């Protein structure tokens, strides 16, 4: 899903006359961010049991 938003945002940047270098940099950074959050998706789905005492 994030990939779709990234593509839409980059398309907007092209329409808004961002420089080619800016779009390339944004693409690289967004791909790095996407790669960073993919392994961490499992963390989001874990729920802490409220009754659990540590």
Q: Is residue 43 included in any domain, yes or no? A: no
Q: Give the pLDDT of residue 34.
A: 86
pLDDT of residue 42: 58
Cα separation, 18 vs 36, whole angstroms: 25
Establish if 47 belongs to a structural domain: no
Q: Residue 31 sits in which domain range? A: 2-35
Q: What is the pLDDT along the chain (54 residues), one digit of tens a residue?
A: 677 888 899 999 999 999 999 999 999 999 899 888 877 665 554 455 555 454
CB burial string 3-38: b at 16+ within 10 A, e below: eeebeeebeeeeeeeeeeeeeeeeeeebeeeeeeee
Indicate whether 41 belongs to any domain: no
**Inside any domain, residue 31:** yes
Q: Is residue 21 part of a domain?
A: yes
23 within a domain of the structure (yes/no): yes
pLDDT at residue 54, rounded to an integer:
47
């Amino acid at each position: 899903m994030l990939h779709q938003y990234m593509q839409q945002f980059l398309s907007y940047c092209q329409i808004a006359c961002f420089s080619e270098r800016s779009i390339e940099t944004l693409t690289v950074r967004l791909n790095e961010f996407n790669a960073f959050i993919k392994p961490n998706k499992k963390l989001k789905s874990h729920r802490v049991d409220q009754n659990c005492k540590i």
